[in-house]
Amino acid sequence: MKNWEQTYLQYQPRIPEPELMEEPNQVVSYANADFESAHSMIMNLFQNRLPLKFSPHSVLDLGSGPGDMSSRLFQMFPNANFTFLDGSKLMLDFCEKRLSTFDLKKRNNKMVFKNELVQEFVPESSYELVFSNSLLHHVHNPYEFWSAIQRSIDDDSFTFVCDLLRPNSISEAHHLVERYAKNESEILKNDFLNSLLAAFRLDEVTEMISNIRMNHKLNVEIISDRHWICYSKPK
């Protein structure tokens, strides 16, 4: 057997999962899960990669889910208007409820909650920041996700995408679930496993970026044993 054949056989193939998270038990488990350490690590890296004194007036959060990342963005950018998009109505309701706990009287930011598929999203104008965490692996055709990103930005926008990294084998995926979701509900553990297996490898993401002719604009980086990020290159 040739070397490349051996390497190829080591790859765990992608196993897509349903796009939307709509089952009430699934949504509640996700909304109540403890993502503090992963999400704060991602947000620290995000902040470190932003241009100096970046203060966007318009922020888009694609696949906002129940709004943990959305509320972090909301706190980080006090002068921005926000669009939170999720195809799952139940997830978006959780997101809206979470954001409503902030004292909105002190701020007059506009907040739009869009219950729409990312594939169908056509913004009226571009956003200064386009952010997405953990959506891409849900989308069956990943190029539909990148097209939505391209429709939402202009030359001055900052893009930040983070997602899971597909492990090399199913047993490695099980280890990651045990390591990082040991105390979570069975539903969440199962969703995490399915998400790891539906996720993309770094070489696949790099190939997508190159195919959409964005490789001169975006960096791709592995940031942990289960995450990668993709973000605008400094100008």
Ligand X SMILES: C[S@@+](CC[C@H](N)C(=O)[O-])C[C@H]1O[C@@H](n2cnc3c(N)ncnc32)[C@H](O)[C@@H]1O
Q: DSSP assignment, residue 104? A: G
Q: Residue 169: phi, psi to the nearest 5?
A: -155, 165
Task: Give the whole-angstrom CA distance, residue 76 versus residue 11.
Answer: 38
Q: In the complex with ligand X, which residue's Cβ is closer, 120 or 221?
A: 120
CA-CA-CA-CA torsion sign (35, 100, 27, 114): negative
Q: Are 128 and 50 in contact (CB under 8 A)?
A: no
In the structure encoding, which two tokens stand for residue 180, read together?
A: 């990082």
Task: Give the whole-angstrom CA distance, residue 133 versus residue 66.
Answer: 12
Q: To the nearest whole angstrom, how small is the minimum distance from the Cβ of residue 64 to ligand X?
A: 6
Residue number closest to ligand X, CB atom: 65
Q: To the nearest whole angstrom, how small is the minimum distance from the Cβ of residue 115 to ligand X?
A: 9
Q: In the complex with ligand X, which residue's Cβ is closer, 19 or 128?
A: 19
Q: Are 78 and 57 in contact (CB under 8 A)?
A: no
> What is each CA distance from 17 to 22, 145, 229, in whole angstroms?
13, 15, 21
Q: Are 74 and 99 in contact (CB under 8 A)?
A: yes
Q: In the complex with ligand X, which residue's Cβ is closer, 47 or 234?
A: 47
- Under the rule (CB under 6 A), what is the footprint of ligand X? 19-21, 63-65, 68-69, 86-88, 91, 117-119, 133-135, 138-139
Q: To the nearest whole angstrom, how small is the minimum distance from the Cβ of residue 7 to ligand X?
A: 30
Q: In the complex with ligand X, which residue's Cβ is closer, 80 or 85?
A: 85
Q: To the nearest whole angstrom, how small is the minimum distance from the Cβ of residue 16 to ligand X?
A: 11
Q: To the nearest whole angstrom, how small is the minimum distance from the Cβ of residue 39 to ligand X?
A: 7
Q: In the complex with ligand X, which residue's Cβ is closer, 29 or 64?
A: 64
In the structure encoding, which two tokens stand for residue 114, read together?
A: 């869009």
Q: In the complex with ligand X, which residue's Cβ is closer, 131 or 158?
A: 131
Q: To the nearest whole angstrom, how small is the minimum distance from the Cβ of residue 21 to ligand X?
A: 4
Task: Give the whole-angstrom CA distance, residue 5 versus residue 98.
Answer: 49
